[in-house]
C-alpha cells in the first residue's frame, strides 16, 4: 500500500509490487526469451504507467480500505 499525504490525510492506494503467483510454480521471467518483443512492450507499458503515478495518486481517497494498484489493473495479470 502506498501511503501518501494529500488533502489532510493518507491515500489508500495499493502497491504495484510483484510478489509471485499464488498457484503458479513457473517463473514467467524464465520462460520468456530475453530478446522476445513482449519484453520491450512490457517496458513501454511500465514506463507509461509510471509517468501516470502522480495522476493515479491524486485520484485516491484519503481514507478507506487499501485498493489494488491501478497499474496492476491496467496491466492485467502478469
Mean pLDDT of the 2-8 span: 47
- Residue 15 has a pLDDT of 73
Mean pLDDT of the 12-28 span: 68
Digit-coded pLDDT (tens) for 23-34: 667 777 888 899
Q: Label each residue of the chain as H, E or C.
A: CECCEECCEECCECCCCCCCCCCCCCCHHHHCCCCCHHHHHHHHHHHHHHHCHHHHHHHCCCCCCCCCCHHHHHHCCC
User: Is 56's pLDDT higher than 80?
Assistant: yes
CA distance 55 to 59: 7
- Residue 48 has a pLDDT of 94
* Alpha-carbon dihedral angle through residues 47, 65, 2, 71, given to the nearest 10 degrees: -10
Global model pTM greater than 0.75: no
| Cβ–Cβ < 8 Å for 12, 61 | yes
Amino acid at each position: 500500500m502506498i501511503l501518501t499525504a494529500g488533502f489532510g490525510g493518507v491515500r489508500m492506494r495499493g502497491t504495484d509490487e510483484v510478489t509471485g503467483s499464488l498457484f503458479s510454480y513457473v517463473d514467467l521471467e524464465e520462460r520468456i526469451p530475453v530478446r522476445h518483443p513482449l519484453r520491450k512492450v512490457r517496458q513501454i507499458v511500465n514506463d507509461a504507467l509510471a509517468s501516470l503515478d502522480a495522476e493515479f495518486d491524486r485520484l485516491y481517497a484519503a481514507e478507506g480500505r487499501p485498493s489494488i494498484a491501478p497499474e496492476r489493473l491496467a496491466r492485467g495479470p502478469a
